[in-house]
Each structure stands twice: as structure tokens, then as C-alpha cells.
Structure 1
């Protein structure tokens, strides 16, 4: 009896430890190990020291454009189908407009007249499949959770890569530095992820997407 009571108390203590005050920061800190593994990949280290072959960077950029176009379409669907609550609806609309603007910029920058037909790598197919599952089978909030790893990781990578201004890839660093994803995500996640079960579910999804980011860089 004493043993079962103790186990029950331990379980409750563990569960309540998941209901943290700042879920936004909790998700990052719990999965920062993947960020540290990602920044050590040869693709990023070669970007950092300027030895990355141009062909690899071009292929990476093409896959990134494909990702951007697909996620923009999903955000368009999400923003159209959500009527309530207002803050989640507004989040999806805001992210859609932001992604759409950046997608249009990328297409123009690389002289595409329309949306290109891009063959996805296995890593990218897996990544986008997770997004589709979140869109089709989960509450809208978890689609927001799925977006966050990309938004948070790329800023962190750019700020932590010691790429000098003379490096050809310095532009990538500059373009991805200085972002503030917390402006869009922190209040929303902290408002709705208020139970241990929701935090645990969000953490699993966040970690899966962090791994997909890692695998994207690894395969590039």
C-alpha cells in the first residue's frame, strides 16, 4: 500500500512538473540537444568556414523553397477554416501572410515565373508529412507547435555560427539573425498548453519537428 501510494505521488509530481509557466521556453530547452547536434553537422560547419560546395547550397535552397511553398498552402487552408478562437485564427492568418510574402520574394529572387515543380528529398517528404498530419488530424494549436522549431532553430543557428563577413554564406547568417518568434508564439502556447497532457503532447510534436529540421540539414 505504501509503495503504491509513493508511486502515485511520484507520478503526480512528474505530471505537474510538465505544467510549466513558460511552455514556449520549456519546449526549446527540452529539445536543445537536437539544436546542438544540428549546428555540428558538416553542412553548417562548412557554411561557417566557407568551404561548402555551391551545388550543395543550391540544392538546399531549392528544397527550402519547396518547403516554403507547401507550408504556405497549408497555412492558407488553416487560416480559412478556423473561425474561433480569435487569437488562433489571427495567428494562422498572420503566419500565412508572412510565409506568402517570403515565398513570393524567394520565387522572384530566383527568377521563377510561377511555382516550380520540385522533387522532394526523403527527409523533406517526411517533414512535410508531419505537417499534413497536424493539419488534418490535430487541433490547430498543434500546427502552431509544429511551425515553431523552424522559426526558433534558424534564428539560433544564425546567431551561433561564427561566419565572418568575408564568407560567401554570411548573407544566410544575416538574413536569419534577429528574428523574434516569441512575439508570435509565446503568449499563444502559454495560454492554451496548460495541462501536463497538452504540454507532453506538444513536446513530442516539437521534438519530432526539431528532428526533421536536423534531418533536413543532415541530408543537404
Structure 2
């Protein structure tokens, strides 16, 4: 018998069992939301848009239809960020974050409007999928605490680089879509971390409910899936 077993057997030493009851550290709110939406991101990966890019079989007309609507999406997200910023109370950091993101989205939509010759967003007829997605974001921006709009926008920011990693955006050949894929589905993009830092900080301060955040986050993931599957 080994010495330590002999000592334990005769009560000469005691063994603490505390290690068996120590709980692992809880995951951050952002990682919890990501882990809980595996099904949605797999559906996005299997969507007609993403698979069409991967197989270089996406109809150019469908790509154009997607891009015109995505241009309007960026425009409307900018307006949602502006609205949410005006509704922030006693949280200057959140207000500044929303205003900074608004400036970014303004650059996005203006560049897209120029590329796709769009002069008026109201002249674009949105499909059912993106219209439903925008209705969700409108509701979050106008009726919920502004912190939830940050949670609602993370799926877009984090899903796209993940999708790029799954289809080899940095190494694959996507034909005429090469430039768009490498720029928009870049696996090395970490812009979503800025959003996640905001909600994780809010969670630490008890300023955001995890289940409510999950509902908002999941609905945005579903919006991404629906939009990708609409072409």
C-alpha cells in the first residue's frame, strides 16, 4: 500500500473534498448568448446565400437584390442607433458607444448607396425577411432599454466573420464574389468584441437581464438566417 493510502486508512491524515464541489467560473454574457444560438448560426451557414457564395453559384441578380436591401438595413440601423442614444439615461459611456456606432453605420450605408446608385431608402421595397428583421430592431430601439440594442446588433457583427471562417473566406476562391467575401466575411474581424465588452460590463453591473438579452439576440440571429435564406 502506498504511504498516502496507509495514512488515510488509519486516519493519520484527512482529505479535503472541497475541490469536488468547486464550480467552474461562469461564462461571460456574450459567450452565453453565442453558445445558446448554435442552431441559428448553423442554419445561416447552410443558407442559400452563403452556400451560393461558397460554391460560386449565387445568381448575380439575387446577389444584387441582397446588397440593395443590405444597404437599406445599414441605413435603418443607423437611425435605430440614433434613437437609442437619445433614450439613454445616466450612462454617458453607453450613449457615446451608440453614437460612435451610428457614425460607423453612416459610413457603411453611404458607401453602399453610392455603389448601388441608391438616392432614397424609401424607394427600395424590402422583402419579407429583412422587413421582419428591421421591425424587431425598431422595437428594441424604441421600446427597450438601449443596452438591448447593443445585444441585438452583436449577431450580425459576430456571425459574419464566423461564417467566413467556415467557408475559408481568407483562402478560398469565390470567383466574381472574391472581393466581397474577403472584405465582408473576414475571419480575422473582431469588431464584435467592442459590442460584447459593453454588454458584459452591463451584466457585471446588473444592468441587463440575461434571458431578455437572449430573446433579443436569438431573434436577431433568426433575422440573419431569414435574410440569408431569402435569396
1:4 corresponds in structure 2 to none
2:182 corresponds in structure 1 to 174
Per the TM alignment, residue 96 of structure 1 is displaced from its structure 2 partner at its CA by: 0.3
Per the TM alignment, residue 113 of structure 1 is displaced from its structure 2 partner at its CA by: 4.2
1:184 corresponds in structure 2 to 194
| Matched ranges for 1:135-214 at <5 A | 135-162=141-168, 164-165=172-173, 167-176=175-184, 177=186, 178-194=188-204, 198-214=209-225
Task: Tell me whether 1:51 sits opposite 2:63 in the alignment.
Answer: no
Q: Which has the higher contact order (CA 8 A, sep 6+)?
A: 1
Per the TM alignment, residue 146 of structure 1 is displaced from its structure 2 partner at its CA by: 0.7
Name the CA shift for 1:197/1:162 in 2 (closer, same or farther; >3 Å): closer
Per the TM alignment, residue 49 of structure 1 is displaced from its structure 2 partner at its CA by: 1.3
Name the larger-Rg structure.
2
Name the CA shift for 1:214/1:189 in 2 (closer, same or farther; >3 Å): same
1:158–1:172 CA contact under 8 A, matched in 2:
no
Per the TM alignment, residue 21 of structure 1 is displaced from its structure 2 partner at its CA by: 4.1
Within 2, Cα distance between the matches of 1:184 and 1:124? 25
Q: Which runs of 5+ in 2 are unaligned?
A: 1-22
Within 2, Cα distance between the matches of 1:28 and 1:216? 19
Name the CA shift for 1:63/1:113 in 2 (closer, same or farther; >3 Å): closer
2:35 corresponds in structure 1 to 29
1:70 corresponds in structure 2 to 76
Richer in helix (by share)? 1
1:89 paired residue among 95, 99, 107: 95
1:142–1:202 CA contact under 8 A, matched in 2:
yes
1:127–1:209 CA contact under 8 A, matched in 2:
yes
Q: Which runs of 4+ in 1 moved over 6 A?
A: none
Query: TM-score under structure 1 normalisation?
Result: 0.84
For the aligned residues, what is the CA RMSD? 2.2
Within 1, Cα distance between the matches of 2:120 and 2:48? 33
2:199–2:208 CA contact under 8 A, matched in 1:
no
Q: Which runs of 5+ in 1 are unaligned?
A: 1-16
Within 1, Cα distance between the matches of 2:78 and 2:145? 18
Task: Tell me whether 1:216 sits opposite 2:224 in the alignment.
Answer: no
Name the CA shift for 1:196/1:31 in 2 (closer, same or farther; >3 Å): farther
Per the TM alignment, residue 142 of structure 1 is displaced from its structure 2 partner at its CA by: 0.4
Per-residue deviation, residues 182-206 of structure 1 (Å, max 9, x unmatched): 4312221112124598111101111
